[in-house]
């Protein structure tokens, strides 16, 4: 008897350890779509005491959905990292700590990748190339170094 393939609400790959940067952006969009991103960026305040039962239920449901969305978006081998919590913000930060590259070696690779970017008019528009430059600049900044504007223009 064949087991059905593991289903996922995502149309992009699960976090596999090598795709954190793209997974993070894709998951952010899913969380935004589900009304849960505010829990990650801590803009969602706790439900007030005078809230109705329906409001409390909806708040709790969105908070749980934040965690379950993250849980469903990672490969099974990484579930033990977040299994001890049911808080989406905590799970997000645990994954960030484990997968976001911030070492000096990673920074060196990112800077090399930035300077290796080349525009190919056959394969892309100038707008797409500029977006690739901006994305790489952001990755370098997140890893701890600001590329001077003079080198970007």
Same domain assignment for residues 26 and 86: yes
Same domain assignment for residues 88 and 121: no
Other C-beta atoms within 10 Å of 6: how many? 9
Other C-beta atoms within 10 Å of 53: how many? 7
Same domain assignment for residues 37 and 90: yes
Q: Could you tell me if residue 5 is inside a domain?
A: no
Domain extent, residue 91, equals 19-100
Q: Could you tell me if residue 47 is inside a domain?
A: yes
Same domain assignment for residues 53 and 79: yes
Q: Could you tell me if residue 42 is inside a domain?
A: yes
What is the band of 142 on the pLDDT scale with cuts at 50, 70, 90?
A: confident
> Would you state the structure tokens that stand for residue 5, as one six-digit string?
């393939």
Asked if residues 28 and 8 have their Cβ atoms less than 8 Å apart, the reply is no
In DSSP terms, 15 is beta-bridged to 74
Q: Could you tell me if residue 69 is inside a domain?
A: yes
Report the distance separating Cα 90 and Cα 105, nearest Å. Answer: 27
Domain count, the chain: 2
pLDDT in tens, 29-63: 999 999 999 999 988 778 888 889 999 999 999 99
What is the band of 9 on the pLDDT scale with cuts at 50, 70, 90?
A: low
What is the band of 1 on the pLDDT scale with cuts at 50, 70, 90?
A: very low
pLDDT in tens, 67-119: 999 999 999 999 999 999 999 999 999 999 888 866 676 788 788 889 999 99
Same domain assignment for residues 91 and 62: yes
Output the pTM of the full model: 0.64
Dihedral sign for Cα 60, 65, 71, 72, please: positive
């Amino acid at each position: 008897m064949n087991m059905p393939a593991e289903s996922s609400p995502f149309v992009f790959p699960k976090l596999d350890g090598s795709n954190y940067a793209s997974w993070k952006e894709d998951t952010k969009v899913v969380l935004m779509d589900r009304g849960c991103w505010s829990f990650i960026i801590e803009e969602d305040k706790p439900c007030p005491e005078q809230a109705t039962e329906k409001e409390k239920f909806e708040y709790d449901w969105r908070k749980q959905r934040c965690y379950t969305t993250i849980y469903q978006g990672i490969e099974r081998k990484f579930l033990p990292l977040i299994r001890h919590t049911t808080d989406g913000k905590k799970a997000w930060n645990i994954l960030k700590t484990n997968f976001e590259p911030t070492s000096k070696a990673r920074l060196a690779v990112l800077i090399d990748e930035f300077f290796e970017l080349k525009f190919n008019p056959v394969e892309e528009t100038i707008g797409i190339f500029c977006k690739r430059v901006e994305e790489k600049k952001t990755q370098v900044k997140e890893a701890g170094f600001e590329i001077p504007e003079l080198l970007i223009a």
